[in-house]
Structure 1
Amino acid sequence: MERQGNQERYDKAFFERRGYNKDIMPKMADQRNNSAFNFFTLWMGAVHNIPNYTAVGGFLLIGLSPLQVMFALIFSSFIIALLLVVNGYAGSKYGIPFAMQLRETYGEYGAKLPGILRGVIAGIGWFGLQTFAGSQALLILLNKMIPGFSDIGNGAQILGISIPGLIAFLIFWAISFVIGFGGGDILNKFTAVLNPLIYIVFGGMAIWGFMVAGGWNNIMDYDIATKETGIIYPAILSFFLIFNSLLGVWAGPGSSVADFTQNAKSTKAQVVGQISGIVVAHILFAVASVFIIIGGSIYLGHQEWNILVIINEWDNFWAILISTGVLLMTTISTNATSNIIPAAYQLSALMPKLVNYKRGVIIASVASVLIMPWKLMEEEDSIFLFLNAIGAILGPVAGVMIVHFFIVKRCQIDIDALYFDLYDKNIKIKRFNISAYIATIVGVAISLLGFLPGFTVISDFSWFIGFIIASIVYIVLHFALKNFPKNKKGVKYHEV
């Protein structure tokens, strides 16, 4: 539904009569309050968090120079921003959430599988894993603040986690839950406070890294021991390896960005806000991450790619407290924007008569504890394998969604048809978009080949491969079947 024109045709009662709760209804003009500044601050925490800083250490091991890694991080921001604003266009134009954008692309039943992959598996799974990762940083902080905290329970474990570790996990989980439960309003206030802190703290840490390293030349000339295993790619492919890794991190938000752009005051607001926010955040991230990690390695006298270890070696307690605290806040922000909010919306879409947004947050949050993420992360590579798998699965979904909206539908959505009457058992609507489904399955299948021996190169570029293949297959199938003979009911079988 566009901001003007169709708005008078629909209201809250119209959608309620058709069986929809308010959380998946299209947002009316008076509900769209997010400005360009809101979008500018929205994703800052998703850039500056513990896993991303750790990942830069891995990027420095693939054979690129520190300067090349910085340029790769900045270039990647334009690709990420493009993905967010393009796939978020349907949300800002019609006010629809991701769940309904999926239905528009795949059909009512067809939308359930990609919805479960994004909202349930990726959303809940990654929420639990990132909560545990954040709790480990909190645990370090609690051990410094409370003498004897690590001795609570005398080494006893509950379900495979120590009592101090469980306390840290539950504290971090509870804060993330509160932010997610409050929804977009609380998140906007949280990110508005967090944004200046990120500039101050990470800017200060970058200056610290620059100073202890002895200047620009020492950082750029630092002798990095590259990895001894795996494929060493030429420089240009190493750039794309970094692009792919970061797109894997952004695969979830890149798919479900309509959950946020549906609240945009205008399409211009989300375009300007997201591009400026993502690019500026990555410029700071590129400089800060390289300066902190290499400066910290010089400071410690050995290569160290874990930012928490570097911070923990500082002599000033307050510097440790503030820096770790901001890192924890950025991880909480990421958990809300990338995980718990999409998971809640998807649960609401899957069961619109039973689950609203807040119930979805409760279900997703409880499920994230029940999966015991600390057990899933017993292997150090588990988190990266999980992210690679999510990128391989959601890259094709994003490709199909973008092709569908811009090429198949030519940026036009029929709200009346999309929000059909759930109580009308005789509705004449196709439940599956077969072309979109086949394209997604082909893209996912080929991307996941990278997890088999001998196909590692596919895994290294899984998001790009899945996105491109699924997009091409969908275009070919759509136009090949466009003139397919109609069935008796006059509905072409490949249409939604």
Structure 2
Amino acid sequence: MENQDYQITEEELQSFRERGYNEALLPKPLSKRMMGKLNYFTLWMGSVHNIPNYTAVGGFLFLGLSPINIMLALMLSATAVALFMTLNGRAGSKYGIPFALHLRSTYGVMGAKLPGFLRGCVAAIAWFGLQNYTGSLALLILIGKIWPQFLTLGGNTMILGISMPGLIAFTIFWVVNVLIGFGGGEILNKFTAILSPLIYIVFGGMAIWAISAAGGLGAILSYDVAGAVHNISPVFVYFMIINSVLAVWAAPGASVADFTQNAKSTKDQTIGQTASFLVGYGIFAFSSVVILIGGSIRYGIQEWNILNIVDRWDNSFAIVVAMLVFLLTTVSTNATGNIIPAAYQLSALFPKRIDYKKGVLLASVISFMIMPWKLMENANSIFIFLNTIGAVLGPVAGTMIAHYYFVEHQTIDLDQLYMDQQADNRHNIYKGLNKPAYVATVLALVICLSGNFIPALKVISDISWISGFISAFGAYLLLRNFFVK
């Protein structure tokens, strides 16, 4: 079947260059798109199997569902995420445009700046620092197993609020992530291709260990979590889990065009991403529940931090291998969801001064300067900050999908989208601010956060991404009848 995606010409690309757009913002011609089904299949594997996701499953186990129902809820979540990512990725794969231009097609040239800044700079840079710190904790355990004296370096000396071993581990892990960021999508493709089989081997082995340690799969599936809440409707718990998983993917899902612009075809990214999430979460759903419960049974204490379970093993080689894979999955998550989108967005905000690599460097330096280990000292403030950013991105995603499918009908005018910076653009359809899109986004944000202030509406905030997405989607299509763009 012939590829129906837009085939941009070299003449068009040269015209856009002359209008002041750098290479990072230009549409990718089909001849330079190198990501096929297999590349997308391996792309998100590492992002699924990361430390925070395992910790989240520990929280899900306290919501009152049985272990088998947690697994089923995670699989339903994977289906929802795959649908979201492939639908929102279609503009990128059809036209080869990055997230910054996809956002512009929805909100307008001026309107795209705020949601782009929130996703690509604030959320991405903050998450990049926090993921680096989380990964450095695993690196610290790893180094401590190989070189125990390392953990005593500097004694009780604290530097910028962190111990010397902690700062060294953070810096090493930060440098590795920065280097992967410099390599961009090409290096990431090779990285994830190596990582995927390791995930199957290591997490499969950990699941087998957990089943053996617990005395069989039956003991795990019948495990009753002490302290679990049983006064919430099981159906609503399913929605809470699906919402939580969607929220995890809110940022990369909003900016997925940065990856689908490299797709050989829309069919490739659709099949590849769908398979990636269904297979990746299938493995994750089983392994996460089995490992956490199996470890808890084995050590006689409910332990929902997977790093602590691994650290209790008496086999140093197994600890080293498991920690290495956790480190690699964190690097994959950081590259795909944080540093690459941040670099592209900084390039979009300052196209004449910042290219992709300068964006990587600037975002990385800022992520170090915010001292994420200090941010994590106050769990409540971090939760509020990240929850607010996530609540914004649900409405943004709802507005983007409503606009592309029901307003633009999957058709983007690239000549107008890449407007001439010096020309009179008063009649350009993408000029200025798309008011109904902005109003719908803000209205949906207020709705999905309302439960934090009005107890009777708490149910809305408990599924804030879903409520924000649906509210923005519906409000935008209705408001277009009352505004003139």
Sort the Cα spacing of 1:387 and 1:279 in 2 relative to 1 into closer, same or farther, 3 A: farther
Alignment of 1:187-336 (within 5 A): 187-227=188-228, 232-336=231-335
- Counterpart position of 1:410: 409
Distance 2:126 2:13 in 1: 33
**Aligned AA (2:25):** I
Aligned 1:85-96 pairs, distance under 5 A: 85-96=86-97
Corresponding residue for residue 459 of structure 1: 461
The answer for the alignment partner of 2:475 in structure 1 is: 473
Task: Check 1:3–1:158 CA distance in 2 against 1; reply closer, same or farther (3 A cut).
Answer: farther
Does the C-alpha gap of structure 1 residues 63 and 29 become closer, same or farther in structure 2, counting only changes over 3 Å?
A: same
Contact preservation (8 Å) 1:247, 1:391: no
In structure 2, how many angstroms separate the alpha carbons of the residues matched to 1:80 and 1:120? 23
Taking the aligned partners of 1:212 and 1:386, their CA distance within structure 2 comes to 39
Q: Which residue of 1 aligns with 2:101?
A: 100
Aligned CA distance change for structure 1 residues 472 and 317 (closer, same or farther; 3 Å) = same
Q: 1:180 touches 1:361 (CA, 8 Å); kept in 2?
A: yes
Give matches, 1:367-382, under 5 Å: 367-381=366-380
Q: Which residue of 2 aligns with 1:486?
A: none
2:316 partner letter: F
Question: Match of 1:224, SS?
Answer: coil
Instruction: Give yes or no for contact 1:31–1:263 (8 Å, CA) kept in 2.
Output: yes
Q: Deviations over 1:42-65 (max 9, x none)?
A: 001110000000110000001000
Tell me how far apart the structure 2 counterparts of residues 291 and 140 of structure 1 sit (CA, whole Å): 23
Deviation at 1:428, TM superposition (A): 3.4
Higher deviation after alignment, 386-395 or 359-368? 386-395
Q: Find runs of 4+ consecutive structure 1 residues off by over 6 angstroms.
A: 2-5
Which residue matches 1:440? 441
Q: Does the Cα contact within 8 Å between 2:37 and 2:269 map onto a contact in 1?
A: yes
Letter of the 1:44 partner, please give it. M
* Unaligned segments of structure 1, at least 5 residues: 482-492
Say if 1:60 and 1:226, in contact at 8 Å, map to a contact too.
no
The aligned counterpart of 1:166 is 167
Q: Give the CA deviation at 1:208.
A: 0.7
How many residue pairs end up in the alignment? Answer: 480
2:123 maps to 1:129: no
Residues 313 and 383 of structure 1, relative CA distance in 2, 3 Å threshold? farther
Aligned twin of 1:84: 85
Deviation string 1:84-117 (CA, Å, 9 cap, x unpaired) is 0000000000000000000000000100000011
2:348 aligned with 1:349, yes or no?
A: yes
Deviation at 1:447, TM superposition (A): 2.0
Give the CA deviation at 1:423: 2.4
- The one-letter amino acid paired with 1:21 is N
CA displacement at 1:159 relative to structure 2: 1.2
* Of 217-226 and 434-443, the range deviating more from structure 2: 217-226
d(CA) in 2 for partners of 1:448 and 1:158? 37
Number of the residue aligned with 2:48: 47
Which one-letter code corresponds to 1:308 in the other structure?
Answer: L
- Paired letter, 1:365: S
Aligned partners of 1:24, 1:298: CA distance in 2, in Å? 52
Query: What's the offset of the Cα at 1:139?
Result: 1.0
Report the equivalent of 2:23. 22
Matched residue type, 2:355: N
Q: 2:291, 2:6 → 1: CA distance?
A: 52
Q: Is the 8 A contact 2:181 2:335 kept in 1?
A: yes
Instruction: Quote the Cα distance in structure 2 between the aligned partners of 1:233 and 1:381.
Output: 23
Q: Which 10-residue stretch deviates more, 363-372 or 5-14?
A: 5-14
* Amino acid in the other structure paired with 2:159: I
Give the aligned CA root-mean-square deviation in angstroms.
1.6
1:37 corresponding residue in structure 2: 38
- The alpha-carbon distance between structure 1 residues 6 and 360, as it changes in their structure 2 partners (threshold 3 A), is same
Q: Which amino acid aligns with 2:378?
A: E
Following superposition, the deviation at residue 248 of structure 1 comes to 0.9
Gaps of 5+ in 2: none
Cα distance, 1:458 vs structure 2: 2.9
Matches of 1:462 and 1:357, distance apart in 2: 33
Deviation, structure 1 residue 385: 3.9
After TM superposition, give the deviation of residue 379 of structure 1 in Å: 2.7
Q: 1:342-376 CA distances to partner (integer Å, 9 max, x unpaired)?
A: 01100000111111111100010000011111111
Cα deviation, residue 145, structure 1:
1.3
Are the counterparts in 1 of residues 5 and 266 from structure 2 also a CA contact under 8 Å? no
In structure 2, distance between residues paired with 1:251 and 1:5: 27
Matched AA of 1:164: P
Q: Which residue of 1 aligns with 2:67?
A: 66
Query: What code does the residue aligned with 2:476 have?
Result: Y
Q: Do the aligned residues in 2 keep the contact of 1:27 with 1:95 (CA within 8 Å)?
A: yes
CA distance in 1, matches of 2:197, 2:418: 40
Give the aligned residue type for 2:233: P
Deviation, structure 1 residue 422:
1.3
Check the 8 A contact 1:61/1:226 in 2, yes or no. Answer: yes
- Structure-2 residue corresponding to 1:360: 359
> For 1:177-234, what per-residue CA distance to the aligned partner results, in whole angstroms no more than 9, with x for missing partners?
1111100000001000000000000011011111111112100111211346xx9420
